[in-house]
């Protein structure tokens, strides 16, 4: 081949490559948002979505330099529909990333689909241990917590003042694991859990359990119910006269619902990886932007959505928006250091957040931070083989 033809051929290849690259970069990233917009977790789903979209808006509507197209569906927090819903997003809609969800059982099924199809998944809430445990995978990450983490932190806190406790929870992965974490922390601090009481998800018939609790008379109680149901739980607890006799501990029990819970929640102590008005420069900016955009202050669910978007952006930027470079995207997220409104956020080898847990007290409409109960808490994830 003459030099001329060689140069011409190279030029053609380069220009085809360049136009392919620029076509690809103007082509939208498809973000699959599989979250509940109905049922007891509807508000949590909205908060996650609002947080995610806020970050994207701050980046001029882009992630990794590419415009973003959202494909959202209501997962109804129904595990029996999870496989079909996740497959719709991955196979029919061909999303580049699965963001979801709130409910541990639904998220575990999504994670199976993500694993099988090598689709990036970022869990912006559900704490199911297996997702970053026995089922952990290079392409599956969490921006939130494992159920064990906040439960363990609450156990450490309760053990500072009490020797005996009873737990109340919904009987599904999140309730079981949260209680397990509480037990571990409480026993580590020298306490003993006397009994675990439970009811089916998403039941709100708390009276029989509260009656049992009153008969057992432990020094403290720990509860895991969540979403809209936690409003009724806290009101029922106060109305039964238990609030003063058996101090109640929780993790999520007052998160995002203080206005609806009113006086019944005043003074309740909880342990989470975020608190209202947390003092750091990132949170100052985040709170202002979130409140401006949505007319209400953010809570932990908004933070987890926002950080899921930050994580994906880090991954995409590492490959200049080229979604085919999957392994490089996963690696970049794995080693990322996210400037989160909760404080610095990094990831364990199982892709679960390493983060501080704060003690919060319910005061007016805020869960105010009073202390840090454990710094840089890592879920041990012994079953994760990555
Ligand atoms: C869960 O199912 O993992 C879950 C749901 C709601 C919460 C926390 C955890 O507030």
pTM (two decimals)? 0.94
pLDDT in tens, 187-220: 999 999 999 999 999 999 999 999 999 999 999 9
Number of domains within the chain: 2
Domain boundary, last residue among 239, 256, 272: 272
Residue 12 lies in a domain: no
The pick from 35, 130, 226, 273 for probing ligand 1's pocket by mutation, whose C-beta has the most ligand atoms within 8 angstroms, reads 226
Tell whether 59 and 85 lie within a shared domain: yes
pLDDT in tens, 222-267: 999 999 999 999 999 999 999 999 999 999 999 999 999 999 999 9
Tell whether 170 and 258 lie within a shared domain: yes
By CB neighbour count within 10 A (0-12 exposed, 13-18 middle, 19+ buried), where does 19 fall? Answer: exposed
Residue 367 lies in a domain: no
What pLDDT, on the 0 to 100 scale, is given for residue 15?
A: 46
Tell whether 158 and 186 lie within a shared domain: yes
1 pLDDT higher than 60: no
Minimal-distance CA residue to ligand 1 atom 3? 126
CA 21 to chain centre: 34
| CATH number assigned to the domain comprising residue 185 | 3.40.50.2300
Given a contact cutoff of 8 angstroms between Cβ atoms, the answer to whether 370 and 359 are in contact is yes
What pLDDT, on the 0 to 100 scale, is given for residue 12?
A: 44
> pLDDT tier at 6 (50, 70, 90 boundaries)?
very low
Peptide bond into 301 cis (omega under 30): no
Minimal-distance CA residue to ligand 1 atom 9? 126
Residue 365 lies in a domain: no
Q: What is the mean pLDDT of residues 316-339?
A: 98
What pLDDT, on the 0 to 100 scale, is given for residue 16?
A: 45
What pLDDT, on the 0 to 100 scale, is given for residue 23?
A: 55
172 touches ligand 1 (CB under 6 Å): no
Q: Phi-psi bin for 65: left (phi > 0), alpha (psi -120 to 50), beta?
A: left
- At 206, give phi and psi (nearest 5°): -85, -20
Residue 233 lies in a domain: yes
Transcribe 207-250 into DSSP letters. HHHHHHHHHH--SEEEEE--TTHHHHHHHHHHHTTHHHHS-EEE
What pLDDT, on the 0 to 100 scale, is given for residue 24?
A: 63
* 350 closest CA partner among 134, 128, 108, 101: 134
What pLDDT, on the 0 to 100 scale, is given for residue 13?
A: 44
229 touches ligand 1 (CB under 6 Å): no
Which residues is 164 bridged to in the sheet? 192
312 touches ligand 1 (CB under 6 Å): no
Domain boundary, last residue among 272, 294, 316: 272
Q: For residue 39, what are its two tokens?
A: 């049922």
Range of the domain at 175: 148-272
Tell whether 317 and 268 lie within a shared domain: no
Strands (DSSP E) along the chain, which ranges? 29-35, 62-63, 66-74, 97-99, 120-123, 140-142, 164-170, 192-199, 220-224, 248-250, 269-272, 338-340, 343-347, 353-363, 366-377
CA 56 to chain centre: 18
Residue 362 lies in a domain: no
C-alpha 132 – ligand 1 centre gap (Å): 15
Average pLDDT of every residue of the chain = 95
Tell whether 132 and 179 lie within a shared domain: no
180 pLDDT higher than 90: yes
Tell whether 256 and 292 lie within a shared domain: no
2 pLDDT higher than 80: no
Q: What is the mean pLDDT of residues 31-40?
A: 98
126 touches ligand 1 (CB under 6 Å): yes
Tell whether 155 and 266 lie within a shared domain: yes
Domain boundary, last residue among 233, 256, 272: 272
Residue 102 lies in a domain: yes
Higher per-residue confidence, 25 vs 111: 111
Tell whether 102 and 199 lie within a shared domain: no
Please report the atom of ligand 1 found closest to the CA of residue 77. Answer: 2
* 68 closest CA partner among 122, 26, 29, 34: 29
Beta-carbon neighbour count of residue 16 at 10 Å? 10
């Amino acid at each position: 081949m003459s030099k001329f033809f060689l140069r011409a051929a190279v030029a053609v290849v380069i220009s085809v490559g360049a136009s392919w690259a620029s076509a690809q970069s103007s082509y939208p990233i498809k973000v699959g948002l599989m979250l509940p917009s109905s049922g007891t977790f509807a508000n949590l789903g909205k908060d996650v979505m609002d947080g995610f979209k806020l970050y994207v808006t701050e980046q001029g509507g882009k992630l990794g330099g590419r415009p973003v197209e959202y494909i959202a569906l209501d997962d109804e927090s129904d595990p029996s529909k999870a496989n079909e819903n996740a497959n719709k997003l991955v196979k029919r809609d061909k999303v580049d990333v699965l963001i979801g969800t709130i409910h541990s059982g639904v998220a575990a099924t999504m994670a199976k689909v993500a694993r099988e199809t090598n689709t990036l998944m970022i869990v912006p809430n559900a704490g199911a241990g297996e997702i970053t445990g026995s089922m952990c995978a290079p392409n599956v990450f969490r921006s939130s917590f494992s159920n064990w983490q906040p439960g363990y932190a609450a156990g450490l806190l309760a053990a500072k003042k009490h020797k005996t406790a009873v737990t109340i929870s919904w009987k599904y992965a999140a309730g079981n694991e949260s209680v397990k974490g509480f037990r571990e922390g409480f026993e580590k601090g020298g306490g003993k859990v006397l009994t675990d009481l439970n009811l089916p998800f998403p039941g709100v018939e708390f009276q029989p359990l509260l009656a049992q609790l009153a008969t057992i008379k432990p020094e403290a109680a720990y509860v895991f119910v969540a979403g809209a149901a936690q409003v009724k739980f806290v009101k029922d607890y106060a109305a039964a006269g238990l609030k003063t006799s058996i101090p109640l501990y929780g993790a999520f029990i007052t998160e995002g619902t203080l206005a609806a819970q009113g006086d019944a929640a005043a003074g309740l102590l909880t342990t989470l990886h975020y608190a209202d008005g947390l003092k750091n420069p990132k949170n100052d900016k985040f709170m202002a932007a979130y409140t401006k955009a949505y007319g209400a202050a953010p809570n932990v669910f908004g933070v987890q959505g926002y950080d899921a978007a930050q994580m994906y952006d880090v991954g995409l930027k590492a490959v200049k928006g080229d979604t085919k470079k999957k392994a490089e995207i996963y690696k970049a997220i794995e080693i990322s250091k996210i400037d989160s409104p909760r404080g610095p956020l990094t990831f364990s080898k199982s892709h679960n957040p390493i983060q501080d847990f704060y003690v919060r007290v319910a005061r007016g409409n805020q869960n105010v931070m009073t202390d840090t109960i454990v710094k840089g808490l890592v879920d041990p994830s012994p079953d994760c083989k990555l």
